[in-house]
Structure formats: C-alpha cells, structure tokens
Amino acid sequence: MGKPGLEQCVLNAIYEASPDGIMVVDEQGIIVSHNRRFIEMANTPRALLRGPDPGSAIGQAGAPILAAVLENVLDKPAFLARINLLNEHPELDDCSEHQFQDGRTIERHTTALRCPDGRLVGRVWFLRDITEQLQSAESIRNLSLYDRLTGLPNRRLLLERLNQAFNASARSGHGGAVLLIDLDNFKDINNSAGHAIGDLMLQRAAERLLSCVSPADTVAHLAADEFVVMLVDLKADATGAATQAQIAGDRIIAALAQPYFIAGQEYRCTSSIGAAVFTDHTYLAEELLMRADIAMSQAKKAGRNSLRFFNPKMQEVINTRTSLDADLHRALLNHEFCLYFQVQVDSTNRALGAEALIRWQHPERGMMAPAAFIAAAEDSGMILPIGQWVLETACAQLKAWERDSHTRELSLAVNVSGTQFRQADFVAQVNAAVTRHGIKPSRLKLELTESMLVGDIEEAIVIISALKQTGVRFALDDFGTGYSSLQYLMRLPIDQLKIDQSFVRDLVASKNARAIVRTIIAMARSLDLEVIAEGVETDTEKQLLLGKGCGLFQGYLFGRPVPLRQFEAELKNIWHYEPQRSWVD
C-alpha cells in the first residue's frame, strides 16, 4: 500500500470517528456521503438518506434533526440559491443553532468542498451537539448567581434585578420596595440545634418567603439569616407603595413566625424587616439595600418581629395608616359611620333625590370625610363590609321615604367602589338588599366611575345588565375625567352621566371646559342618557349648563351634604318640594 492509500484510510477513520455529524452534498445539492455520527444525530436509517430525494427520509422517519439540516434541501430552488450564494462567498460559514423539543441543541456549520485544483464540487455540513456545553455554561452562571442552599438568587443577581427594576419603574411609573428580612434568633438555633437543622430551617424560610410574594417579585438570600424581598409593580406614589410594602411585610412576618417542625422538634424564629421604597432610579441598588439595612436595625431595636421604614416620614404615614386600619374595623362595630345626603334637583330646583355620601364620626379625630379613609379601606379590604353597610343603610332609607307621601318619589344614589363592584356576588348582594328592604329597585341608583370599568368591560357589562333587569339604575360618576370613549360608552347599559365637578368649576373661565361639557351633553343625548352636573356652586354655572341642555344638578348652590334630619327639613323648606297629585293618593 502506497502513501496516498494510507492517507485516505486515515481520513476515512477520522471522518467516521468524528464526534461531529458530517454530511456531504454535491454541487447540485444531492447528498453523497455522511458519517455514522450524522446518522445517530439525525436518528434516521442510512438507506433513506442518500440519493436525490432525501425529503422522503423525513416523511418516513420524522427525524426533526434531519428536517432542520435539510430545511433547504427540501426546498430545492431555495437550497440551490443558497449553495450559489455560498459558492460566491466562500468565506460564509452559514452557521446556525437549532433547538429541539427533546432538549438538545445542535449547532450547524458548513464549508465549501474543493478539489485540489480549487474547483468547487459541493459542500460539507457539520453538526455538533452543544447541549452539554450550554448546560455547563448555564450551571456556571447559576453557581455565580444563585445561593446553593436555598436555590434563591444571591446578592449579585439581586443587584442585577434591582437595576432592571429601577429601569422598569422609570418606564412604567410603578413603584417598588426592598424588604430586608433578618431572622431574629436564628444564630441561637443554629448553634444549639446544629447546622444541619439550621440549613433546613433556612430552606423552609425560603419557601415561605416565596409563597408570600407574586412571581414577578424576587426573593434573594444574602447571608446566613438574611433574605431580601424585592417587590415590583407597586403603586406609583411613595405612600401607596409603602402601604403595599407594609401589607406584604406583615404577611411575611406572620408566615415566618409560624413554628418549624424539623426532625420531630418544634423551632420558632421571628423576623425583623427593614423596608425602603423606590419609585425610579433615585438610588443606587447598593444604597437602597443599605437603607433597608438601617431600617432593619431599627426594627430590631424596636423589639423585633416588626417592620420599619427607612424614611421616618413614611413611617409616620404608615403608622397613621395602620392605626386607621385598626380603627376601621372597630368603626363598623361601633356604628361610627353615617350617611350624609346631598340633594339632586331639576331645572326648577325641585328635589328629585339625593346622593348618599359616607362620613365617619371618629371618636378622636372628629368628623372625617371619605377622602381621609376610603383609600385605606380599599387597601385593607374593609371597603367591602363598609360598602355593604352603605347599601343596606341606603335601602333602609329609601324604604322609610317610600312610607311618607312627601318623600315617596325620591331616589338615592350610592357610590360603589371598584373592589365592591368586582366581587363575585355583587349582583346577588344588591338584589338581596333590594328584596330585604322591599324597595322599588328603580329608586336606587348605583354610581360607578369609568376607571373601575375599563379593566374588564365585558364583565362590567354583565354585572350592570344583570342588575338593570331588576330595575336598579346606574350613573357614571366623575364623567369626563377618565376614559370617556364614545365607543365604550355605547356598550355600557347605564342610565345617567354625571359631569365631573372639575368641568363645572371651570365653565365660566375656560372655553375648553365649555366645549367638553357641550360634547358630554351631546354624547348623552345621542345615547339617550340622562345627564346631571355635579359641583354646581353658582347660578351662573347653572344657567350655562341649562343653556347647553343639562337639566339636572347637584352642588352647594342647592345644598351641601347634610345629615338626614337636616336633609328632610330642607326638603320641605327650601327645595319647593311639592309632591305631585298622583304621589299623594
């Protein structure tokens, strides 16, 4: 055997033993050769591959790898065009990666095949399984970013995520917060029960933390007994974000304070939390963690098992809010809420009904307007029992009015909050109240705002329609300040639009406000809706509104919100309230 023969044998051996799958096509794109590894990777019988029509191999064997490699072979013109392109640009590698459903990733390279004289005779494709390579790169990254004991992100990844969160917050306007959580007496347990128990406890604590937050939030493990929770998508204003952070923090403190049962023993470990809020890129990530750390030390000093905010002002706001939450619970039991009534009149100043506006007779703070507590009640969920109380009280009032010929025809508008409206059994609650008090449903008017409807308009339509069937009426409150699209308005089965007081206030001074009011009235007319203006304070405003076609009013000009007795007295004395003949008998 001469030298070239040996060379040939060596080349053949390398070709067959190569860890890469190799496939050779001639200049017409017909497969002329492939090695063993290629067959393995393509998972296709050798006999099916060769020849001018390798597409049939895919049909029969269904091997996805082959399909990926031959994507161009199957589409003959495209494949030839590609070969021509590669021939013209021999430097092109045509490298690509393919991921398969079975988890493998295959890298594909190609190179021109030339005779010793330089003539192009075909192409060679190389397939390399890079799955393991990618996996080990991934696990190296994971090792450097995740804590081994708990599997949670470590400090480095937390800092990365914080920076991403700052950017996202600057874009979306949402706030966020970091809660630095320290397990109060973990070191004692670790020392007395041993590190194995300590490790198990940390793993359980990690699970509990994960269960307390939503998937978009991050739970990180910084040091032995130190965790950080990064909350995102909080309210835009710092106070709102802090309130939400406090709620999440309370949940975490309660979850971590639960006993741990490990190896037949019960262990208890409370936690202290330091919180710092962010609403954009104001701080560096490290700085924010430092703030949370300072707040955490204060929580420890304050007696552990508690949460403190870095910002003392914020702490104050939160303290007020927390005591407000506790007070709200008590207020319902102690009958501290009452309804004020503000008259609604027609163009002749005749009273048609009223809007019920809640007031809180607080034992220390005195009479409180809804602006001071409705938001807190929304956040804590107390708005549900409060809303229910308003509805019951309003229905009871309507019944009482129905019994008196002087007030029989009055209607009563009740404000409904978003949370209340979206309850699964809202329709049933309203119907039950109407039935329980035996009132005429059309006397009850529920006031909704646009902002509470836009989330899921289809659902809103279903709820409103269901209640309309029984005769309850609906008004769209604060109209003009929200979404106000005609298209969406057309689909809502409501009865009345309530022009927001901000437009009424500007009527005299602003041409714009006049144009908006004119448009709202035209809109209402075309949709056959009633329109009422609120916040009417002067006769000039009333006349302007009247001139534009709005004939229903509410505002200080006619009467402020007043307690029931005063309302009923003024009804007789001021609002020319003359029951029509038909009402009396």
Question: Which residues in this chain contact Ca ion in the complex, by CB under 5 A?
Answer: 415, 447, 477-478
| Residue 1 binding ligand C2E, by CB under 6 A | no
Q: Does 556 bind ligand C2E (CB under 6 A)?
A: yes
Q: Which of 478, 495, 506, 530 binds ligand C2E (CB under 6 A)?
A: 478
Dihedral pair phi/psi, residue 9, rounded to 5°:
-60, -45
In whole angstroms, what is the distance from residue 539 CA to residue 543 CA? 6
Q: Scan for tokens 């979850």, then name that residue.
A: 255
Tokens (6 digits) for 268: 């208890």
Question: Please, what is the minimum distance in Å from the beta carbon of residue 530 to Ca ion?
Answer: 15
Shortest spacing between CB 417 and ligand C2E, in angstroms: 4
Question: What is the identity of the amino acid at 110?
Answer: T
Instruction: Kindly state the helix (H) or strand (E) to which residue 390 belongs, with its residue range.
Output: helix 383-402
Q: Which is nearer to ligand C2E, 351 or 358 (CB)?
A: 358
Which of 169, 244, 271, 342 lies at the binding interface for ligand C2E (CB under 6 A)?
342
DSSP string, 503-553: HHHHTTT-HHHHHHHHHHHHHHHHTT-EEEE----SHHHHHHHHHHT--EE
Query: Choosing among ligand C2E, Ca ion, none, which partner's interface includes residue 390 (Cβ < 5 to 8 Å by kind)?
Result: ligand C2E
Tally: H helices and E strands in the chain: 26, 21
Q: Does 42 bind ligand C2E (CB under 6 A)?
A: no
Q: Which entry of ligand C2E, Ca ion, none binds 44, CB below 5 to 8 A by partner kind?
A: none
Question: Tokens 């309210």 correspond to what residue?
Answer: 235
Helices (H), 307-351: 312-333
Nearer to ligand C2E, 370 or 482 (CB): 370
Shortest reach from residue 567's CB to ligand C2E, in Å: 13
Contact window for ligand C2E (CB under 6 A) among 63-71, 281-289, 399-407, 553-561: 553-561
Structure tokens at 88: 């013209």
Nearer to ligand C2E, 131 or 481 (CB): 481
Within 424-535, residue ranges assigned H as helices are 426-437, 451-454, 457-470, 486-491, 501-506, 511-526
- Minimum Å gap between C-beta 186 and ligand C2E is 44
Shortest Å, Cβ 190 to Ca ion: 57
CB distance 97 to 107 below 8 Å: yes
Residue matched to tokens 């966020």: 176
What DSSP assignment string belongs to 83-148? Answer: HHHHHH-TT----EEEE-TTS-EEEEEEEEEE-TTS-EEEEEEEEEE-HHHHHHHHHHHHHHHB-T
Decide whether 269 or 356 has the Cβ nearer to Ca ion.
356
Interatomic CA distance for residues 395 and 297, integer angstroms: 52
Per CB under 6 A, 545 contacts ligand C2E: no
Is 55 or 370 the residue whose CB approaches ligand C2E more closely?
370
Taking the C-alpha atoms of residue 430 and residue 472, their distance in angstroms, rounded to an integer, is 9
**Residue 342 near which of ligand C2E, Ca ion, none (CB within 5-8 Å, type-dependent):** ligand C2E
482-501 residues in contact with ligand C2E (CB under 6 A) are 501
Which residue of 176, 249, 353, 561 would you call a contact of ligand C2E, by CB under 6 A? Answer: 561
Give the residue among 315, 152, 185 at the shortest CA–CA distance from 245.
Answer: 315
Please state, in angstroms and as integers, the Cα–Cα distance from residue 486 to each residue in 13, 405, 431, 524, 535, following that order: 77, 40, 29, 10, 23
How far apart CA 441 and CA 132 sit, in angstroms, is 70
Counted residue by residue, the chain has a size of: 585
Q: Minimum distance from CB of 264 to Ca ion (Å)? A: 60
Give least dist CB 476 to ligand C2E, A: 11
Output 325 or 541, the one with its CB closest to Ca ion: 541
The smaller minimum CB distance to ligand C2E, of residues 255 and 562, is found at 562
Applying CB under 6 A, among 190, 393, 417, 496 the residue interacting with ligand C2E is: 417
What residues pair up with 360 in beta bridges, in sequence order?
Answer: 337, 368
As a whole number of Å, the CA-based R_g of the chain is: 37
**Under the criterion CB under 6 A, does residue 250 sit at the interface with ligand C2E?**
no
CB-based contact 270:306 (threshold 8 Å): no
At closest approach, how far in Å is the CB of 516 from ligand C2E?
17
Q: Judge residue 351's burial from the number of C-beta atoms within 10 Å of its C-beta, 0-12 exposed, 13-18 middle, 19 or more buried.
A: buried
Nearest CB to Ca ion, comparing residues 147 and 447? 447
Residues 519-538 contacting ligand C2E, CB under 6 A: 534-537
Tell the smallest beta-carbon distance from residue 415 to Ca ion (Å).
Answer: 5
Q: How far is the CB of 359 from ligand C2E (least distance, A)?
A: 7
Q: Which is nearer to Ca ion, 427 or 532 (CB)?
A: 532
One residue of 412, 415, 475, 571 binding ligand C2E per CB under 6 A: 415
Taking the complex as a whole, the smallest distance from the CB of residue 512 to ligand C2E amounts, in Å, to 19
206-214, 240-248, 255-263, 555-563 -> range binding ligand C2E (CB under 6 A): 555-563
Positions in 356-395 near ligand C2E (CB under 6 A): 357-358, 369-371, 374, 387, 390
- The minimum distance between CB 438 and Ca ion, in angstroms, equals 25
Q: Residue 42: is it exposed, middle or buried by C-beta count within 10 angstroms (0-12/13-18/19+)?
A: buried
343 binds ligand C2E (CB under 6 A): no
434 vs 532 by CB, closer to Ca ion: 532
Name the residue with tokens 């022009």: 499
Q: Which parts of this chain interact with ligand C2E (CB under 6 A)? A: 342, 357-358, 369-371, 374, 387, 390, 415, 417, 477-478, 501, 534-537, 555-556, 561
